Amino acid sequence: MRPFSVYKRSSGIYYAELFDERGIRIASRSTNKRKRDEAVLVAHHWSEQGLPSRSGATRVLSEQATVSTLYRLARELPLERTDAVRIVAILKSRGLVTVSASQARGEAREEVGAFLARHWAAGSPYIAERTAMGHRIGKRHTYEMSRKVVLFWEPFFKDKAVGELRRADLKAFTISLAGRGLAAGYIAKVMQAGTTIFRWARAAEIFAIDPSEGLGKFSGPAKKRGVLTVDEVRNIFALDWRDERAKVGCIVALTCGLRAGEVLGLRAEDIADAWLRIRHWWSELDGLKGTKTDSERRVPLLPNVRKLLLALVAKNPHGQGPESFIFFDLRSSERPMAHHILRGGFEDALSQYTLADKYASASREEHRAALIPWRARAVSLHSFRHLYAARLADQVLPETAMRTTGHSSRAVFDAYADHLDDAALAEVGAAIADGFGKLLNFKVTA
């Protein structure tokens, strides 16, 4: 069979139809010729050398036949949405698709902010899948991610559909965040509110591609952590605090290197003779849960600090059972005191230290002004933990220090046991006694 035929349309231009060896039509093209003989020569050349494409390349008829078959199959086969997602992903990987968020579902038309907010909401497909796979996603984390969507993603992208997102859009977004003077670490968390969902949606075959794929990580100077001096710590704890629970909580944060949530999560059964067991974290949204790193640890407990803790346990109005909170709430036995009591007690002590003799008569505005220099130094409750870690780093091996503080950022320590052995515990205890034993003026009341 002849591999082509020519025919004239009403425009007077001859077209050529090309066929494969089975007689199935491969393509129909205009020869741009008005004379039949010239059109035949063009068609013959195509059948021998291949069809020219719009890019200028030439495709032999066997390849064109395969592509034509793909066209036909795409029209006729009962394809599913997941098939379409995979096909688009293949085209994207070959550089043939440049749109960075082609979806096969209705989500493509959803606004960026609404799409992200929906997937950070409780019961969303993302949350349900991660929970089913054994990953812990706390309410506090989802709340923080949702807040970042509302504060940053929604205003920037406004009415933009998620299906229109491109990597360039996300780059412009990070630049805008940097222009607002945000710290690099915080920008990374803002970006995480979006990139986490995009990556999951691609893996779940909701998206054909991930618009954040290949997006460089934002780098910049880390925000300096606030550090208290030894003299400041000594003078602050020498003051009379309004709430004994807040003062003892801050002493524990300092001498045991605990996070605020770990302090509030302490229960009576966690107090041993010479050490404190850290196995819980209190969150206002999630309640009592495992520690931040999901691992238990022991930390040395100075004798006088132990006495302070036992004195608080004895004052618990809800009873002194093993599961009673050390830093109890006055109204409920089901929770410890609120986080703002711990933080507020610390800030009130800073104000008292700054105002000195003027503290008692100072106005609310003056108390607020007294905190400005401390905030400028980034001093917070976490500053106690920094001072603890700094003292340990001066006296014990980094491995021992990290296992005491519960840091897990260095992968080399992941293989270590969750608990310090007795020798290491004694070493840390000696370092803490030397570093803080003479620093505090302990007062234990019956």
- At 15-32, the pLDDT tens digits run 988 887 777 777 888 898
Cα 401 to its chain centre, rounded Å, is: 26
Q: Among positive and negative, which fits the CA dihedral 163, 169, 171, 174?
A: negative
In the predicted structure, residue 96 carries a pLDDT above the cut 80:
no
The answer to whether residues 365 and 269 touch, using CB atoms and an 8 Å cutoff, is no
Q: What is the CATH number of domain 80-223?
A: 1.10.150
In the predicted structure, residue 181 carries a pLDDT above the cut 80:
yes
Residues of the chain with CATH 1.10.443.10: 230-436
Q: For all residues of the chain together, what is the average pLDDT?
A: 81
What are the tens digits of pLDDT across the range 337-378? Answer: 999 999 999 999 999 999 999 999 999 999 999 999 999 998
Look at 70 and 324; give whichever has higher pLDDT: 324
From the list 159, 152, 172, 156, the residue with the least C-alpha distance to 212 is: 172
Q: Are strands 275-278 and 281-283 parallel, antiparallel or unpaired?
A: unpaired
Look at 417 and 334; give whichever has higher pLDDT: 334
What are the tens digits of pLDDT across the range 120-154? Answer: 998 899 999 888 887 878 888 899 999 999 999 99
Most confidently modeled range among 134-148, 208-222, 403-417 = 134-148
Look at 315 and 442; give whichever has higher pLDDT: 315
CA distance 259 to 118: 31
Look at 444 and 237; give whichever has higher pLDDT: 237
Burial of 93: CB neighbours in 10 Å, binned 0-12, 13-18, 19+: exposed
User: Token digits for 320?
Assistant: 């002194």
Residues in the chain: 446
User: Token digits for 444?
Assistant: 């234990």
User: Token digits for 308?
Assistant: 């302070």
State the Cα angle at 198 between 281 and 136, rounded to 5°: 20
| Long-range CB contacts for residues 416-421, cutoff 8 Å, separation at least 24 | 418/295, 418/296, 418/297, 419/296, 419/297, 419/298, 420/297, 420/298
Task: Quickly state the pLDDT bin for 411 (edges 50, 70, 90).
Answer: very low
Q: What is the CATH number of domain 230-436?
A: 1.10.443.10
User: Token digits for 317?
Assistant: 């109005």
In the predicted structure, residue 445 carries a pLDDT above the cut 50:
no
The answer to whether residues 400 and 428 touch, using CB atoms and an 8 Å cutoff, is yes
The helix or strand, by DSSP H or E, that contains position 200, with its residue range, turns out to be helix 184-203
The answer to whether residues 276 and 266 touch, using CB atoms and an 8 Å cutoff, is yes
Region 242-270 average pLDDT: 94
Residues of the chain with CATH 1.10.150: 80-223
